[in-house]
Amino acid sequence: MTEEHHVEPALLGIAPPAAVVSSAMIVLLAIAFFYAKAHKKIAGGLDARIAEIKNQLEEAKRLRADAEALRQEYADKIANAEKDAAAMLDHARTEAGVIVAKAETDATAMVARREKMAEEKIAAAERGVMDELRVRAAQASAAASADLIARNYGADADRTMVDQAIGSI
């Protein structure tokens, strides 16, 4: 018989099929090896990024809670400040009413004192005028008496009156 000769496939005519399969297997294993490491690196990177995002979300929640607490605190302070302002305004109005009432009382008392002082001054002036009038009246009557005596009584009249006074004793 004749020997048959089979043509075996070859890669580019130089590599036998066993070498091609071996090479493909090595490439596949290398890809799987690098892929497994790359997958772990990618997964690790994604896990780190997820953890960072979770931390940022937790920080944002905490900051929001702090902001809400501050907002509530300031809202309470504003409400208290408004209450304090209203109380201060009421107190000021009350004090103003007291001051006005005291001022009216003081003004009334001052007017009464001034009226009394004016009345006392008028009375003092009247007394002064009356005293001056009495003095002038006394002076005028003394002058008139002296004039009457000087006109009506002379030395003769004086002798007669002295004699009558001595005789009556």
pLDDT per residue as tens digits for the range 135-165: 999 899 888 888 887 777 766 777 787 888 8
Residue 17 contacts residue 10 (beta carbons within 8 Å): yes
* Residue 82 falls inside a structural domain: yes
Query: What is the C-alpha R_g of the chain?
Result: 69
Residue 59 lies in a domain: yes
What confidence category does residue 7 fall into, taking pLDDT thresholds of 50, 70 and 90? low
Read off the amino acid at residue 62. Answer: R
Tokens of 156: 């003769």
Question: What is the tally of structural domains in the chain?
Answer: 1
pLDDT at 1: 53
pTM for the model: 0.39
What is the C-alpha to C-alpha distance for residues 1 and 4, in angstroms, rounded to an integer? 9
Q: pLDDT value at position 91?
A: 94
Encoded amino acid at 70, one letter: L
One-letter amino acid at 117 equals M
pLDDT at residue 112, rounded to an integer: 93
Q: Collect all residues with Cβ–Cβ distance below 8 Å to 10 and sequence separation of at least 6.
A: 16, 17
In a domain? residue 85: yes
In-domain check, residue 154? no
Q: What mean pLDDT is predicted for residues 81-97?
A: 93
Q: What is the pLDDT of residue 114?
A: 94
User: What does the alpha-carbon distance between residue 35 and residue 48 come to, in Å, rounded to a whole number?
Assistant: 19
- How far apart are alpha carbons 21 and 29 in whole angstroms? 12
25 within some domain: yes
In a domain, 133, yes or no: no
User: For 78-92, what is the mean pLDDT?
Assistant: 93
Distance (Å, whole) CA 115 – CA 121: 10
Q: Which domain holds residue 77?
A: 17-119
In whole angstroms, what is the distance from residue 115 CA to residue 128 CA?
19
9 domain-assigned: no
Predicted local distance difference test score (pLDDT) of residue 15: 73
Between CA 113 and CA 102 the distance in angstroms is: 16
Residue 64 lies in a domain: yes
Task: Output 5 or 40, whichever has higher pLDDT.
Answer: 40
Alpha helices in the chain (DSSP H): 17-152, 155-167
Sorting pLDDT into bands at 50, 70 and 90, what band is 2?
Answer: low
